[in-house]
Amino acid sequence: MKLSLLFRALLFGVSASTVHARPGPSKSYTEIYRPQYHFTPAKNWMNDPNGLVYDADEGVYHLYFQYSPSGPKWGALSWGHATSKDLMHWTEQPVALLARGFPGNVTEMFFSGTVVIDEANTSGFGRKGKVPWVAMYTSYYPVEQVLPSGKHVLKDVQAQSIAYSLDKGMTWTTYDAQNPVIAEPPTPYQDLYKEFRDPGIFWHKETQHWVALVSLATQHKVLIYTSQNLKHWDFASEFGPVNAVGGVWECPNIFPLSLDGKKTKWVLVLGLNPGGPPGTVGSGTQYVVGDFNGTTFTADANSIYDGSGPEDSVIFEDFEGDATFAARGWTATGDLANASPAKGTLAGQNPVTGFQGQQLLNTFIDGDATTGTLTSAPFDISHKYINFLVGGGSNVNETAIRLKVDGRTVHTSTGSNSESLAWQTWDVSKLQGQSALIEIIDNTTGGWGHINVDQISFSNTRATSTIANWLDWGPDFYAALGWNGLPQGQRTIIAWMNNWQYAQNIPTDPWRSAMTVPRHLALKTIDNKATLVQEPAGKWKSLTNHGRAFTFRKVESVRDLGRIGKTLELELKFSSDRASSSEKAEFGVSVAATRDYSHETRVGYDFSTQQVFVDRTRSGDTSFDGTFAGVYSAPLAPSSDGTVSLRILVDWSSVEVFGGEGEATITSQIFPAQNAVYGRLFSTGGKTADVKLRVREVRSTWR
Ligand code: FRU
């Protein structure tokens, strides 16, 4: 049987990767940390959502996803599959595209991509009146080989391929006769074939052609292609780099939305890893608003940041002018002893980008062979943040910029193995008035053995919050993607609720990673800018009970709510009117707390900075990654009636906060103890007035 299948596959050039056992009947889904109303696969590893498509005839939402059939770690990447009629109850389906060769030696993995319904059968894959669905994905080839199409690929090539389904997305046939259909990046980028991925495809009605966005990850570029038949693609234009470039760009996708219900704008969504939102470490998601004419994306001027950093910056060092480092007041050792700042790119180096003015510190002087240290003169910390641009090597022990107080290193940053400098910020608000110094080290001669630094400056604003439009300000929101096939103008997205920084180490078993709740998007003018606002999609009411309502004229210190449960929707509204105080003025709610509050996740509002925040420093198990315990903030102005509103979704291992109208969202995983079912309100630095809270329990969607 096996042999004859293989024989058929060889004969007809179709992939044998179509028939797989369905994952067993819906498991109980009661393991510790198992999300109760967020999608998780029954077992194994998951990352990005892929191929989201809505089958309007059947009323079925399809969710494909990056999936490892081999266990709870990234590997043998395949497309998992799940379906839902309401975006809340999901049924896991058989694997849609299984890594070629699995469980033996894998010769092709199916990386991220998207699915369209080819109604007009432009691809010709349709037969007997059956409408073909076409998936475009990145083929990742871990070994050099000659493909069934006769094309030769080198080891580690990433190229774009297609597959089709004639049974509404349940089984797929790879287009082996021609794959990959985009074999390499266009001139002059051909040598970047290892960083070329994640096609986002859709039908552009106005110009009547298919469009694919493909990421040229390390260049922070999106390549735009067009096609009449999904098989032959023409390179049309490129976009980027803009805004946040602290890591690779991945999973680009673009969609139209009406601004304030009026004219149509286009929203480009980009994954960024690392270099995510302020205060996070690892991956994040940004968006850019503009216009798209079928071949070219043009960003709105006010959706782009010029990269110059906050306006209130006081420059400490910009490396401009003729003086050597030593003459500028730095103690310079090793090869840097008599050296000076560089005029941009140095001999033998790829182009250095993202610095300000004419010069920067660039230790590629004698190539990577250069080593040495620069130590600044001591200075008193006078502002909340130290901002700087950094690029180059990523090893914290080898090429780094550090802040030292009393001889102790209190902050360290590096580049991300890239010649493009990106803003980084150290929060020094707790070190006010202390004497500090900055040390820049390069003590390695190997690959990426250099560092690039510029614009070291003091400010009360984080540079990192003014460089991008963040789709979510939390640490666990990545590779966001919208459903194709929804009625015009309607946009629902979902994202991977994890972070490459620690994704493989989160303490869940036998699955790893969840999706966020699906979110409905709209585009509104807020603060003179086209801004995405989000709310949970689907019929929420059907999942929740009526809940308990609390009203307090004033809350001071803490107010216990008792046992509130573990799967919750909270709506919290309060007055933003607070007398100034010397203590930090915060108000919010602790959730997923133990009875003694030794563990809790604090969701609140900082009145002085006007930011909503999630504090997971004491949220439970944070031990698996040194950066996991953190506080994440998003700017949120009070609404015109002077109140602040927060909607908070709590599940067994996550918190999602929607602030205001949904313009500020923070998505964060937490791993609380099983008995962390308590909650309380807190108000620090004074009383908070007119507090209204509703607490609803959310039912499990798995039982
Ligand atoms: C993003 C990503 C994609 C790639 C996929 C591989 O999270 O790195 O760029 O296609 O994951 O699993």
Please tell me which residue, 585 or 193, carries the higher pLDDT value: 193
Q: Which of 456, 373, 466, 364 is nearest to 419 (CA)?
A: 364
Give me the mean pLDDT over the 670-684 stretch: 97
CA of 368 to the centre of ligand 1 (A): 30
Using most ligand atoms within 8 A of CB, pick from 44, 66, 196, 222 the residue to mutate for ligand 1: 66
How does strand 314-317 pair with strand 248-258?
unpaired
Atom of ligand 1 nearest to the CA of 496: 7
CA distances 479 to 223, 318, 392, 461, Å, are: 17, 35, 25, 27
CA distance 590 to 213: 41
For position 23, what pLDDT does the model report? 53
What are the pocket residues of ligand 1 if the criterion is a CB atom closer than 6 Å to any ligand atom?
47-48, 66, 77, 111-112, 138, 197-198, 250-251, 271, 479
Residue nearest to atom 12 of ligand 1 (CA): 111
**Is it the case that residue 159 has pLDDT exceeding 50?**
yes
Residue nearest to atom 7 of ligand 1 (CA): 48
Q: Which of 462, 464, 386 is nearest to 422 (CA)?
A: 464
**Is it the case that residue 14 has pLDDT exceeding 80?**
no
For position 209, what pLDDT does the model report? 98
CA of 516 to the centre of ligand 1 (A): 17
Return the structure tokens found at 649: 């979704």
CA of 250 to the centre of ligand 1 (A): 7
How does strand 248-258 pair with strand 331-332?
unpaired
Residue 608's pLDDT band (cuts 50, 70, 90)? confident
CA of 317 to the centre of ligand 1 (A): 37
CA of 590 to the centre of ligand 1 (A): 34
CA distance 401 to 101: 45
Give me the mean pLDDT over the 270-285 stretch: 93
The answer for residues whose C-beta is within 8 angstroms of residue 407's C-beta and 6 or more apart is: none
Atom of ligand 1 nearest to the CA of 48: 7
| Lowest-pLDDT choice from 134-138, 194-198, 213-217, 411-415 | 411-415
Q: CA torsion 29→30→33→36, rounded to 10°?
A: 60
Give me the mean pLDDT over the 8-35 stretch: 57
CA of 198 to the centre of ligand 1 (A): 7
CA distance 83 to 167: 14
User: Could you tell me what percent of the chain has a pLDDT over 70?
Assistant: 96
Q: Any catalytic annotation for residue 306?
A: no
For position 462, what pLDDT does the model report? 82
For position 27, what pLDDT does the model report? 58
CA distance 27 to 284: 31
Residue 418's pLDDT band (cuts 50, 70, 90)? confident
For position 11, what pLDDT does the model report? 36
Over residues 40-94, the pLDDT tens digits come to 999 999 999 999 999 999 999 999 999 999 999 999 999 999 999 999 999 999 9
CA count, 13 A, side-chain hemisphere, 269 = 26
Over residues 458-489, the pLDDT tens digits come to 998 888 777 899 999 999 999 999 999 999 88
CA distances 152 to 77, 256, 422, Å, are: 21, 38, 37
Give me the mean pLDDT over the 421-426 stretch: 87
Using most ligand atoms within 8 A of CB, pick from 48, 494, 500 the residue to mutate for ligand 1: 48
Give me the mean pLDDT over the 428-457 stretch: 95
Atom of ligand 1 nearest to the CA of 111: 10
Q: Which domains does the chain have, with CATH numbers?
A: 2-305+470-522 (2.115.10.20), 314-459 (2.60.120.200), 539-697 (2.60.120.560)
Return the structure tokens found at 386: 């130290």
**Is it the case that residue 311 has pLDDT exceeding 90?**
no
**Is it the case that residue 2 has pLDDT exceeding 60?**
no
| Lowest-pLDDT choice from 15-19, 221-225, 383-387, 644-648 | 15-19
CA 653 to chain centre: 18
Residue 116's pLDDT band (cuts 50, 70, 90)? very high
User: Which residues partner with 332 through β-bridges?
Assistant: 374
Over residues 175-190, the pLDDT tens digits come to 999 999 999 999 999 9
What is the average pLDDT value for the chain, to the nearest integer? 93
**Is it the case that residue 16 has pLDDT exceeding 80?**
no
Eight-state DSSP code of residue 638: P
Please tell me which residue, 9 or 610, carries the higher pLDDT value: 610
Q: Which of 211, 216, 206, 214 is nearest to 230 (CA)?
A: 211
CA distance 217 to 196: 6
Helix (H) or strand (E) holding 4: helix 2-12
CA of 305 to the centre of ligand 1 (A): 26
Length of the chain: 703
Residue nearest to atom 9 of ligand 1 (CA): 250
Atom of ligand 1 nearest to the CA of 138: 10
**Is it the case that residue 210 has pLDDT exceeding 90?**
yes
Return the structure tokens found at 518: 């699906």
Atom of ligand 1 nearest to the CA of 77: 12
Eight-state DSSP code of residue 700: P
CA distances 439 to 162, 309, 373, Å, are: 50, 21, 7
Q: CA torsion 367→373→374→375, rounded to 10°?
A: 170
For position 580, what pLDDT does the model report? 59
Using most ligand atoms within 8 A of CB, pick from 65, 77, 250, 270 the residue to mutate for ligand 1: 250
Residue 581's pLDDT band (cuts 50, 70, 90)? low
Residue among 48, 118, 442, 606 flagged as catalytic: 48
Residue nearest to atom 6 of ligand 1 (CA): 111
Using most ligand atoms within 8 A of CB, pick from 197, 273, 476, 500 the residue to mutate for ligand 1: 197
For position 1, what pLDDT does the model report? 30
CA distances 151 to 193, 273, 642, Å, are: 15, 31, 63
CA of 427 to the centre of ligand 1 (A): 30
CA distance 182 to 15: 19
For position 272, what pLDDT does the model report? 97
Atom of ligand 1 nearest to the CA of 158: 10
Atom of ligand 1 nearest to the CA of 198: 10
CA of 628 to the centre of ligand 1 (A): 21
Return the structure tokens found at 453: 């630094």
- The three-point CA angle 209-214-220 to 5° equals 135
End-to-end C-alpha distance for the chain, whole angstroms: 38
CA distance 50 to 543: 26
For position 143, what pLDDT does the model report? 98
**Burial category of 524 from C-beta neighbours within 10 Å (exposed 0-12, middle 13-18, buried 19 and up):** middle
